[in-house]
Amino acid sequence: MAGALLAVGSAAQPAGARAERPRPPAIRTAAPVVVELFTAQGCGGCIEANTVVERAAAEPGVIALTYGVDYWDYLGWADTFARPEFAQRQRAYRAALRQRGVSTPQVVIDGRRQVSGARGLELEGAIVEEIGRQTWPPEIEFRETGDRVGVGSGRAPAGGAEVVAVTYTPGIQTVEVARGENRGREVRHINVVRTVTRLGEWRGRPVLYALPEARDGDAVAVLIQGKTDRRILGAKVRS
């Protein structure tokens, strides 16, 4: 995993070489690590971070989500994926993590800690630590009808928890930026978030929630998240 996250800007390794690279045993955990990137197409320092998170997304056991924020739009380029509620989600993490302000690129891991998205080694270490520290989360099960999801029993955190559905477009999307700091450059994004929908509260008992409608080809990540500390207790993707 270290090789993938640190090789920013270098050519991708052949498929065979990647297959032979040993992975840390902890990667095979049943509880995925949620990596949330807050980035902007008009942010000159974000392109490298996008690449780091793209490489992390390829690792088993990682759910990577990219949120476009709009507070860089004043530099001359309106981010095509940004929505005001994504910046609000980042501000909620700022309060929970006791930070002075918000900035990009920022990566939040399982809602528990944050790193600069451009620091590949730090991000890799944080992911591995989160994988190693996890306990078994509440079970998340998607119904065959595709319109509902069940969350099982478990221990709710102080302040309570909520269940959130994050709808995103899997894979790579590329945008050519015409103005601002990244003028003339192509910006790559992995797993671009389209909507974030609060499904309801979770108090530690089994509950069935209705899922929002998604476009064909989109995926939904369901997160169980503390309302006060914003820590993610469990996550699962319906593709």
User: CA 211, CA 124: separation in Å to the nearest integer?
Assistant: 32
Output the pLDDT for position 24: 41
The number of distinct structural domains making up the chain is 1
**Which among 215, 181, 237 has a CA at the least distance from the CA of 62?**
237
Please give the residue range of the domain that contains residue 70: 2-238
CATH number of the structural domain spanning residue 156:
3.40.30.10
User: CA 114, CA 94: separation in Å to the nearest integer?
Assistant: 9
- Within a 10 A sphere around the Cβ of 219, how many other Cβ atoms? 17
Q: What are 38-81's pLDDT values in tens digits? A: 999 999 889 999 999 999 999 989 999 999 999 999 999 999 99
Output the pLDDT for position 86: 98
Q: What are 161-184's pLDDT values in tens digits? A: 999 999 999 999 999 999 989 999
Output the pLDDT for position 211: 97
188: Cβ contacts below 8 Å, ≥ 6 apart: 47, 50, 51, 54, 172, 173, 174
pLDDT tier, 119 (very low <50, low <70, confident <90, very high otherwise):
confident
50 or 26: whose pLDDT is higher? 50
3-state secondary structure of 3: helix
Backbone angles phi, psi at 224, to 5 degrees: -100, 120
